[in-house]
């Protein structure tokens, strides 16, 4: 019946700051849909940014910046990604640590975006 995820909405307080973080720190491609909506492309899936003070309908009942907990797959070895974060002075909250992903064991690093959303960056665990 369902086949995948098209987009996920991330509520942010400052569109420019969020676009900078997700593009510069995480390397996502930016697509401006209109003045109020920006898509950050992750393969064929989008993280769609909505700023809190814009009037976009329909929206979730209680859109709240900082309430997202998202796990993103990384192509780089986590040690290289960790070095990238450190070079940009991005705080690493935890990791690398062993976790269980949707398709098996993963290794993860945790950090936060400018709104406080928890971002888990993962790679399949070595077998």
Provide the pLDDT for residue 58.
Answer: 83
pLDDT digits 0-9 by tens, 75-98? 999 999 999 999 999 999 999 999
User: Out of 80, 93, 107, 120, which one is annotated catalytic?
Assistant: 120
Active site residue 107: no
Q: Is residue 110 predicted with pLDDT exceeding 80? A: yes
Given a contact cutoff of 8 angstroms between Cβ atoms, the answer to whether 69 and 117 are in contact is yes
Provide the pLDDT for residue 117.
Answer: 96
Lowest mean pLDDT among 59-63, 81-85, 117-121: 59-63
Count of CB atoms situated within 10 Å of the CB of 105 = 13
Provide the pLDDT for residue 57.
Answer: 81
Which residue ranges form the domains of the chain, and what is each CATH number?
A: 5-122 (3.10.180.10)
Mean pLDDT for 102-120 is 96
Farthest CA pair distance, the chain:
48
Provide the pLDDT for residue 115.
Answer: 96
- ∠ CA 89-18-11, rounded to 5°: 130
Given a contact cutoff of 8 angstroms between Cβ atoms, the answer to whether 53 and 11 are in contact is no
Q: Is residue 69 predicted with pLDDT exceeding 90? A: yes
Provide the pLDDT for residue 45.
Answer: 94
Q: Which two tokens stand for residue 90?
A: 């991005």
Q: What is the mean pLDDT of the chain?
A: 92
Given a contact cutoff of 8 angstroms between Cβ atoms, the answer to whether 40 and 81 are in contact is no
């Amino acid at each position: 019946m369902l086949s995948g995820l098209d987009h996920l909405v991330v509520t942010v307080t400052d569109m420019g700051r969020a676009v900078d973080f997700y593009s510069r720190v995480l390397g996502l491609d930016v697509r401006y849909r209109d003045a109020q909506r920006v898509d950050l492309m992750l393969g064929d899936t989008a993280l769609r940014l909505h700023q809190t003070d814009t009037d976009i309908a329909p929206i979730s009942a209680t859109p709240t910046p900082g309430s997202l907990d998202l796990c993103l797959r990384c192509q780089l070895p986590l040690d290289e990604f960790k070095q990238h974060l450190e070079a940009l002075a991005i705080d690493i909250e935890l990791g690398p640590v062993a976790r269980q992903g949707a398709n098996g064991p993963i290794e993860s690093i945790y950090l936060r975006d400018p709104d406080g959303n928890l971002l888990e960056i993962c790679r399949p665990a070595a077998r």
